[in-house]
Amino acid sequence: MTAASSILATLPPSRPAAPTAPHGRPRRRRFTPARVGVYAFLCVAAAFFLLPLYVMLVTSFKTMDEIRSSSIFALPWRPTFDAWVQAWSSACTGLECRGVSVGFWNSVLIVVPSVVASIAVGAVNGYALSLWRPRYGNALFAILMIGVFVPAQVVLVPLVRMLAGVGLFGSLPALVVVHTIFGMPIMTLLFRNYYGSLPDELFKAARIDGGGFWRIFWSVMLPMSTPMLIVAAIMQVTGVWNDYLMGLIFGGSGMVPMTVQLNNIVNSTFGEKAYNVNMAATLLTSAVPLLVYLVSGRWFVRGIASGAVKG
Using CB under 8 A as the binding rule, the residues of this chain from 146 to 175 that contact other proteins are 146-151, 153-164, 169-170
Q: Rounded CA gap, 231 and 302, in Å?
A: 9
Which residues inside 8-67 make contact with other proteins, applying CB under 8 A? Answer: 10-12, 15-16, 19-25, 27, 38-39, 41-42, 45-46, 48-53, 55-56, 59
Nearer to other proteins, 112 or 208 (CB): 208
Binding mask of the shown chain, residues 69 to 98, with x at each position contacting other proteins by CB under 8 A? --xxxx-----------------xxxxxx-
> How many chain residues bind other proteins (CB under 8 A)?
132
Q: Does 263 bind other proteins (CB under 8 A)?
A: yes
Instruction: List the x/- string, 105-124, binding to other proteins by CB under 8 A.
Output: ----------------x--x
Minimum CB distance to other proteins smaller for 77 or for 273: 273
183-202 positions binding other proteins, by CB under 8 A: 184, 186, 188-190, 193, 196-197, 200-201
Q: Taking CB under 8 A as the criterion, which residues in 214-233 touch other proteins? A: 214
Binding to other proteins in span 231-250, by CB under 8 A: 238, 242, 244, 248-249
We find the least distance from the C-beta atom of residue 142 to other proteins, in angstroms, to be 8
